[in-house]
Amino acid sequence: MDYTAVGQTTHLAARMEQAAAPGSILVSPHTLRLAEGFVQVTPLGPLPIKGLEAPIEVYEVTGAGSVRSRMEAAAARGLTRFVGREAEMEGLRQALEKARAGHGQVVAFVGEPGVGKSRLLWEFIHSHHTHGWLVLESSSASYGRATPYLSVIDLLRAYGQIEPRDDGRKIREKLTGKLLALDQTLASTLPAFLTLLDVPIEDARWQALDPPQRRQRTLDALKRLLLRESQVQPLCLAMEDLHWIDSETQGFLDSLIESVPPARVLLLVNYRPEYQHGWGSKTYYTQLGIDPLPSESAEELLRSLLGSDPGLSPLKQLLINQTQGNPFFLGESVRTLVETEVLVGERGAYRVAKALPSIEVPATVQAVLASRIDRLPSEEKRLLQAAAVIGEAVPLALLQAIAEEPEGALRRGLTHLQAAEFLYEARLFPDLEYTFKHGLTCQVAYGSLLHDRRRMLHTRIMEALERLYPERLTENVDRLAHHAVRGEVWEKALTYLRQAGARAVACSANREAAAYFEQALQVLEHLPEGRSRMEQAYDLWIYREAAYYSLGELGRIVDHLGEAEALARALEDQTRLARVAVLMLGCLAPMGDQARAIESGERGLAIAETAGNLPLQVSANILLGFAHIGLGDFRRAIDLLRKSGGLLQGQPVHKLLGQIGLPAVFWRAWLIVPLGELGAFPEAITRGGEAVQIAEVAAQPYSLALAHGALGHLYCLKGAPSSGIPALERSVALCRDYEVAVLFPFAMGSLGYAYALSGRVTEALSLMEQAVTKSASLRVMWWQSRRMTQLGEGYLLAGRMKDAMATAERALALADAHGERANRAYALRFLGEVAFRRDPPDFEGAEHHLGQALARAEELGMRPLAAHCHLGLGKLYRRMGKQREAQQHLATATTMYREMDMRLWLEQTEAEMSQLA
């Protein structure tokens, strides 16, 4: 709408105010169109109004309407014509019918900003097709990636009809009533939902849960609620802007989508092309590419906006060319032309008032918005900029607190900004809230501010948040941290960033936690130097690196370990120095640098023992055992791991002791690896079962991934892939869902090998290749030689002899480079197998490699590998015609396999023996 129309409407509103009885509000048809959806009215019929020549239709406002979202606000203002999406609407209708019949569907709209993803979603969920469905909507925000469960909380509030002004008691009442009315058994999910809504709870069982347990219970509760609701009525979930989604909401979506197929659920999402997910292979997933409008549809849209005046044709073509059919760009360009008086008239009946060569049509929407903002009166421009500093959602109370305008001037400015379609009223009750028409408008307005004013506004927003919401600081800690940093209020920025990081850790959102702690370290540089600053820097550094460790960014940690060590030395704190040394061990051992890792670990262990620091002693012994596994010193590894178990005697098995997983699981899980290599399978399986049981009760993701991965690896070593595959599949899923990247190569490589042993060679090769690649990218070289050997065996099974040979040689080189004696023996045995199977066979090379492998296996006490070498030599000598030597080796292999109950290879050996007879 142009400013002339706004002026006329404002003048008419003043006349209506004079005509209204005390306590009543009267509006004209023009005003009603502006507020459509936001208010409820009763028509009073034509009434004479002073100053007007003829009576006009008058309406009395009786209450607030139901408008809540940006699209609802846009619809209330009058949407442009919906064109060019017939095929997409038909696809959505078909998906809806499938979901209604109990075959759940996921449909995604993918496209660049402004092409109409939100509009398509709006049109469909508000069409007659969804009558009889429960529709729940939520959207993500650009700042929301660092706020766990932001979109989920939006859904939950919509489901429970919870308003922002509701206090904890009101929220509890609404949610409890809603859940119990649906299903009495859902009462157990209430603590999870109340926690999401930041409502204090006194449930002791819930409070006793570890953060990962709470996360899993929360995900399960959300999924359970939605699926139960879909049994009562079909459920349509509409979630917008997934490109800004936080990782916890992503985890919820991934989990929910797995349960969609048998439910009456239609999940509609939209996102920009850069967003990535893992649903593409689902048969019930449909992706709709939302492209700019084709020329015919763009012309139809412009015809509805501009009219059919023949003089508009050149302008329409110019608009289509310069906007490339982007509906939002088209609409913004037309509004710019109206405001600059290039077009005159009214919507649907404009005419060109200036010659085409003088028309400035921005090539991008950013330029359109920037030019529109610059043309605002100075007061309104300042008001829009202040709103932009708050963000895309602008509560009036917050804007009033920071705006340098009297209330009357503020209201007038907002009215003008609404009329110019920069802002919309997105919410009336319980508190008035505005929203930017488009996120780009907010970004451009923010970018137009000078640094000092921007900083001042951020500071005032932070102070206003503290003042307006003193009991909801935890809920708003991410916003407080954002504004404190931008406002350069460094002490408070540090406090809020640490709180935000701790909140992210509690939700197992390690990536977000690392980002918060990283920013906190940067903020710390602005505070006075001294011991306090050094102590805080050390603590923040450790918090950050713990998050990065789980993410597998070991190289990054090692590259910066000197910072923490220097801080510990400057503080003259031996315990802190020991922690750095143990962290160095924990990073270097997975990276394959066992010598440096062990040296650092023993130094840290000595300090920890002197100080009597139990957590550090336990951690150092576990990690030293892990390092010795890499070297192939299995007996030493077993001693160290059992020692850590002894130190933990009397400690609760579910206690983290400052580690990223449960030490009670760690020592057992890693112990079963060397036990298996020595052939002590009964004890290894017992310890593996204990590790899994402890991890399952705690529901701690890292511990679960390790326990299942190690046990699955053990079963593969024993030759029981059918027992190992379920455990390994669980481990891989946990690593993927919780970003436990440091364990990913181990779990994925072992699963691939299990598939290979089961005859699923194609799947096996894909997984083992991914494991090798992932390991290299993370610099996690521990066991990489073994992964290469197993990959080579997969190539051999697939008949890819050349690849098998190259992989075997790389495996041997890796084992030598990292001093891995056991893995060198595995690589030598495989080289012998490859030489034996070449065409023509290389008998001499095979005998040499197998003999070397056997000698090393016997030296290290590796009975399973020694048995494999005896089997290989038996097959070789039988092929060479040396029956006596073949008989000796096969008999030895048979005895060893039988003693260790390695049935898969026992059967192969017995088959070879039968051919000798």
Per-residue model confidence as pLDDT tens digits over 159-186 = 988 887 888 899 999 999 989 999 999 9
**Cβ distance 225 to 244 under 8 Å?**
no
3-class DSSP assignment, residue 240: strand
Between these two residues, 211 and 417, which has the higher pLDDT value?
A: 417
Q: Quick one: pLDDT at residue 440?
A: 64
Between these two residues, 631 and 656, which has the higher pLDDT value?
A: 631
Please give the average per-residue pLDDT across 615-632, as a whole number: 95
Please give the average per-residue pLDDT across 691-706, as a whole number: 93
CA atoms within 13 A on the CB side of 90: 4
Please give the average per-residue pLDDT across 358-375, as a whole number: 58
Specify the amino acid at residue 403. Answer: A
Question: Among the listed ranges 347-351, 450-454, 822-826, which one has the minimum average pLDDT value?
Answer: 347-351
Q: Quick one: pLDDT at residue 53?
A: 64
16 pLDDT band, cuts 50/70/90, is: low
Please give the average per-residue pLDDT across 704-708, as a whole number: 96
| Token reading at 719 | 């030759």
Cα angle 179-183-185, degrees, rounded to a multiple of 5: 95
Q: Reply yes or no on whether the pLDDT at 139 is more than 80.
A: yes
Question: Among the listed ranges 70-79, 480-489, 778-787, 862-871, which one has the minimum average pLDDT value?
Answer: 70-79
**Cβ distance 199 to 172 under 8 Å?**
yes
**Cβ distance 472 to 497 under 8 Å?**
no
Question: Dihedral angle at the C-alpha atoms of 757, 763, 765, 767, nearest 10 degrees?
Answer: -100
Q: Quick one: pLDDT at residue 598?
A: 95
**56-64 vs 26-27, strand pairing mode:** antiparallel
Residue with tokens 């960014």: 553
Q: Reply yes or no on whether the pLDDT at 753 is more than 70.
A: yes
Q: Quick one: pLDDT at residue 50?
A: 67
Question: Among the listed ranges 15-24, 88-97, 337-346, which one has the minimum average pLDDT value?
Answer: 15-24
322 pLDDT band, cuts 50/70/90, is: low
Q: Quick one: pLDDT at residue 488?
A: 96
Q: Reply yes or no on whether the pLDDT at 430 is more than 80.
A: no
Highest mean pLDDT among 56-60, 376-380, 899-903: 899-903
Residue-averaged pLDDT of the chain: 87
10 pLDDT band, cuts 50/70/90, is: very low
3-class DSSP assignment, residue 668: helix
Q: Reply yes or no on whether the pLDDT at 492 is more than 80.
A: yes
- Report residue 620 CA to chain centroid gap: 32
Q: Quick one: pLDDT at residue 364?
A: 46
Burial class (CB in 10 A: 0-12, 13-18, 19+), 317: middle
**Cβ distance 503 to 198 under 8 Å?**
no
Q: Reply yes or no on whether the pLDDT at 480 is more than 50.
A: yes
Please give the average per-residue pLDDT across 55-78, as a whole number: 68
| Residues whose CB is less than 8 angstroms from the CB of residue 800 and which lie 6 or more positions away in sequence, other chains included | none
Question: In the chain, what is the greatest distance between 2 CA atoms, to the nearest angstrom?
Answer: 121
Q: Reply yes or no on whether the pLDDT at 360 is more than 50.
A: no
Residue 68: phi and psi, rounded to 5, are -130, -40
Burial class (CB in 10 A: 0-12, 13-18, 19+), 18: exposed
Burial class (CB in 10 A: 0-12, 13-18, 19+), 683: middle
Q: Reply yes or no on whether the pLDDT at 898 is more than 90.
A: yes
CA distance 485 to 523: 7
Q: Reply yes or no on whether the pLDDT at 547 is more than 90.
A: no
Q: Quick one: pLDDT at residue 72?
A: 66
Q: Quick one: pLDDT at residue 141?
A: 72
Q: What percent of the chain has pLDDT over 90?
A: 50
358 pLDDT band, cuts 50/70/90, is: very low
Q: Reply yes or no on whether the pLDDT at 31 is more than 70.
A: no
Q: Quick one: pLDDT at residue 373?
A: 83
> What pTM, to 2 d.p., does this model score?
0.63
Q: What percent of the chain has pLDDT over 70?
A: 91
Other residues' Cβ atoms within 10 Å of the Cβ of residue 58: 21
Buried b (16+ CB within 10 A) or exposed e, 586-622: bbbbbbbbbeebbbbbebbbebbeeeebebbbbbbbb
Q: Reply yes or no on whether the pLDDT at 193 is more than 70.
A: yes
Burial class (CB in 10 A: 0-12, 13-18, 19+), 840: exposed
917 pLDDT band, cuts 50/70/90, is: low
Q: Quick one: pLDDT at residue 866?
A: 97
Please give the average per-residue pLDDT across 276-301, as a whole number: 89
**209: nearest Cα among 615, 700, 767, 573:** 700
Please give the average per-residue pLDDT across 874-884, as a whole number: 93
**285-289 vs 343-346, strand pairing mode:** unpaired
**652: nearest Cα among 629, 623, 618:** 618
285 pLDDT band, cuts 50/70/90, is: very high
Q: Reply yes or no on whether the pLDDT at 74 is more than 50.
A: yes
Distances (CA, A) of 909 to 531, 628, 789, 837: 68, 32, 21, 17
